[in-house]
Amino acid sequence: MRRRKFVTLLGIVAAWPAIARAQQERLVIGYLSTLNEATGAPLLSAFRRGLAETGFVEGQNVTIEYRWAEGQYERLPAMAAELVRRPVSLILAQAPPAALSAKNATASIPIVFVVGLDPVGSGLVSDMNKPGGNATGMTLISTVLGQKRIEMVRDLAPKASVVGLLINPVSPDSVYEIRSVQAGAQALGLKLVIFNASTPAEIEAAFDRIAELRPDALLVGTDPFFVSQGRDTIVARAGRAKIPTIYPFREYAAAGGLMSYGANIANSYRQAGIYAGKILKGASPAELPVMQPTTFDLVINLKTAATMNIDIPATLHARSNEVVE
């Protein structure tokens, strides 16, 4: 009996390196997000759908390790380094701060990003069609859409002369967004006033200034911090001040914001899941072109417009993809 147990034990010990190697070789995705878990849940669901389309299901043949920065961007470099040490098979980087942190942390582990800024200008890739390195993904081109949003101000408030822009100054895409909006403002002869906020308290302080200065309209920046840490506050304060406000993502209009214009984010995360699956199957990120959205959604909240006594012009009605009533 003792001999049988001893032989069995020897078999387990002999097999252990193979077991450990199999565990190490199991495909693991590092999910590096600037958001909190609750806010990021719909986008994660879309990412999982894309993965499933390529044959990967979390908990079955792939593991996902999550790192949620919860709007605290200073945590991202350490989180990215932790995933690299794990090591993971691939990193999904959600928004510019996460993408840049992942890019700085590794030049070998594949990265799939979803960002709103210019991937080439920010150094994430060398070329949109042939990224050439270890990163590729989706760009929402959200920052350049600031010029389109400010053009909508002319339709929404034809007599406007001063437009405010709420921006997060510590976000890496703020420079690109300010540049885009400033160009649109100058073309229309509008004065642009910048309101900075990078913490919940600063959002409140920014809206105190907005209520005092009373711009004719307001644009909310694309930084994900505003979505995860300030969406409800921003929507409530803009409504209370009765200032016509245009947001970058549908989530704001669904939460009571007046109007949003931007790419379908959920679809971009589904595409990111498909890219991740292709790379896990052997595709090189260097050869997968960065994808851009081809359609953009204009969402108008008619209930909010009525509450704020704002008449939505027929030109915007005609262009809208969705109305919230």
Give one DSSP letter per residue of 24-46, joined into a string.
HHS-EEEEEESS-HHHHHHHHHH
At position 273, the amino acid (one-letter code) is: G
Q: Which of 179, 245, 175 is nearest to 206 (CA)?
A: 245
Using alpha carbons, list the distances in angstroms from residue 271 to 2, 59, 64, 261.
57, 20, 17, 20
Please write the tens of the pLDDT for every residue from 148-164: 899 898 889 999 999 99
Q: Is residue 41 predicted with pLDDT exceeding 90? A: yes
Domains of the chain: 2-141+265-287 (3.40.50.2300), 146-262+296-324 (3.40.50.2300)
Q: What is the mean pLDDT of residues 162-174?
A: 93
Grade residue 173 by pLDDT with cuts at 50, 70 and 90: confident
Q: Is residue 19 predicted with pLDDT exceeding 80? A: no
Q: What is the mean pLDDT of residues 274-298?
A: 95
Percent of the chain with pLDDT over 90: 72
Q: What is the H or E stretch that residue 172 is in?
A: none
Q: Is residue 256 predicted with pLDDT exceeding 80? A: yes
> Phi, psi at residue 129, to the nearest 5°?
-80, -35
Q: Is 194:209 a contact under the CB 8 Å cutoff? A: no
pLDDT of 229: 81
> If DSSP codes are grouped into helix, strand and coil, which group holds residue 287?
helix
Q: What is the mean pLDDT of residues 294-300?
A: 91
Q: Which residues contact 162 (CB under 8 A, 6 or more apart)?
A: 190, 191, 192, 193, 213, 215, 216
Q: Which of 56, 99, 28 is nearest to 275 (CA)?
A: 56
Q: Is residue 1 predicted with pLDDT exceeding 50? A: no
> If DSSP codes are grouped into helix, strand and coil, which group holds residue 154?
helix
Please give the DSSP secondary-structure letter assigned to residue 311: P
Q: What is the mean pLDDT of residues 214-225?
A: 94
pLDDT of 5: 45
At position 149, the amino acid (one-letter code) is: R
pLDDT of 141: 83
pLDDT of 25: 56
